[in-house]
């Protein structure tokens, strides 16, 4: 793989620096010419120092200082950025994206730290952005940890209000073959071989055209976690842009280990619910009452989980 010097990779870290190191290692195995910007979301566990120590003597790295002229960081392979607060996924990634834009990169990749490059031809992704003036961003084909099972979340449709129920815990029994085929692009067309426009791609790997992303204002920081790609799709749609899926290149998505490892189940449920309400009211135009109705199954499961946890603790 070749990531040319026009591409910056933004990786958000929260406590789990081991996954971040493995992610960086996978990128380095396939390219020596990219810039990686690691943004630590106030982990308070020495994450950036651990990452720096691991790559000492192998990679040119710098700790980013806002007071320093940004031009002095050009040519660095690894930039380590320390956030003083954990503002969530969107806000944390925006720090890295804005820095990458100020450094003059043409393409900006948002890469989850629980992903591994494997035959990930980023040039095929950036070429989609070049060939399609309406392309805001593009994502690769995703595989699960075994490297063989497709993660169908890599290309899916814009959720209907019914989908919110079907995708909830209580709606899992309504996932008919017809629904699955309609919701996931690769279920309907498993042999797609060319880049296609889709409603949504996975937030685990999104490659943006920097000027287009800058024009629409980066990620909406109104959410802490979840629905970032859904909101980005709406922002892009309003500006005349689309998401694209490129099946010719691949990435392994290990899964949300950070949240699982730190047992933030209550936090993730609350974040998912609050972000869904925000997405539906701000970006889909629903009233707060209608949004809560659409998300009632999410709300009910969250309350039952919290009640169960409270009972267990007694």
For 76-112, what is each residue's pLDDT tens digit? Answer: 899 999 999 999 999 999 999 999 999 999 999 999 9
pLDDT at 33 over 80: no
- Count of beta carbons in the 10 Å neighbourhood of residue 44: 8
Query: Taking residues 23-31, what's their average pLDDT?
Result: 89
Domains of the chain, first to last: 7-313 (3.90.550.10)
Euclidean distance between CA atoms 236 and 239, whole angstroms: 5
pLDDT, averaged across the chain: 92
pLDDT at 260 over 80: no
User: What pLDDT, in 10s, does the model give residues 201-229?
Assistant: 999 999 999 999 999 999 999 999 999 99
Going by C-alpha positions, the residue among 306, 10, 299 that lies closest to residue 137 is 10
- Quote the pLDDT of residue 222: 97
- Quote the pLDDT of residue 114: 96
Going by C-alpha positions, the residue among 269, 162, 253 that lies closest to residue 203 is 253
CA dist 36 to 43, 74, 91, 105, Å? Answer: 19, 11, 18, 11
Return the ∠ at Cα 93 (arms to 127 and 288), rounded to 5°.
105
Euclidean distance between CA atoms 81 and 250, whole angstroms: 28
pLDDT band at 183 (very low <50, low <70, confident <90, very high): very high
Query: Taking residues 245-257, what's their average pLDDT?
Result: 87
Going by C-alpha positions, the residue among 34, 8, 233, 4 that lies closest to residue 98 is 8
- Quote the pLDDT of residue 314: 63
- Quote the pLDDT of residue 32: 61
Token digits of residue 251 = 């990435």
pLDDT band at 30 (very low <50, low <70, confident <90, very high): confident
pLDDT at 148 over 80: yes
Token digits of residue 250 = 């691949």
Euclidean distance between CA atoms 220 and 176, whole angstroms: 33
The three-class DSSP label of residue 25 is helix
pLDDT at 264 over 60: no
171 contacts 165 by C-beta, under 8 angstroms: yes
pLDDT band at 263 (very low <50, low <70, confident <90, very high): very low
116 contacts 131 by C-beta, under 8 angstroms: no
The three-class DSSP label of residue 250 is strand
Token digits of residue 85 = 């607060």
Query: Taking residues 21-49, what's their average pLDDT?
Result: 91
Residue where the block lists tokens 């070049």: 130
150 contacts 224 by C-beta, under 8 angstroms: no
């Amino acid at each position: 793989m070749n990531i040319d010097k026009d591409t910056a990779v933004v990786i958000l870290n929260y406590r789990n620096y081991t996954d971040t190191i493995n992610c960086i290692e996978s990128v380095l195995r396939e390219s020596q010419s990219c810039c990686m910007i690691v943004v630590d979301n106030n982990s308070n566990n020495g994450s950036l120092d651990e990452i720096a120590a691991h790559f000492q003597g192998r990679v040119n790295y710098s700790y980013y200082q806002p007071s320093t002229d940004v031009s002095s960081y050009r040519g660095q392979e690894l930039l380590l950025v320390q956030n003083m607060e954990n503002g969530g996924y969107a806000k944390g990634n925006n720090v890295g994206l804005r820095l990458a834009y100020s450094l003059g990169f043409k393409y900006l990749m948002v890469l989850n730290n629980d992903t591994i490059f494997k035959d990930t031809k980023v040039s095929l992704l950036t070429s989609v952005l070049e060939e399609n003036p309406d392309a805001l961003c593009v994502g690769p084909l995703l595989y699960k940890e075994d490297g063989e099972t497709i993660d169908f979340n890599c290309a899916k449709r814009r959720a209907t209000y019914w989908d919110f129920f079907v995708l909830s815990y209580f709606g899992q029994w309504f996932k008919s073959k017809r629904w699955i085929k309609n919701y996931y692009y690769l279920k309907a067309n498993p042999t797609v071989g060319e880049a296609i426009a889709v409603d949504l791609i996975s937030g685990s790997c999104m490659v943006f055209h920097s000027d287009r992303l800058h024009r629409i204002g980066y990620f909406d920081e109104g959410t802490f976690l979840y629905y970032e790609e859904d909101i980005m799709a709406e922002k892009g749609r309003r500006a005349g842009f689309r998401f694209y899926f490129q099946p010719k290149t691949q990435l392994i998505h290990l899964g949300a280990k950070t949240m699982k490892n730190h047992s933030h189940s209550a936090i993730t449920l609350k974040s998912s619910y609050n972000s869904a309400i925000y997405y539906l009211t701000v970006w889909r135009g629903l009233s707060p009452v209608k949004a809560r109705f659409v998300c009632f199954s999410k709300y009910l499961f969250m309350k039952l989980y919290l009640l169960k946890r409270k009972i267990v603790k007694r």
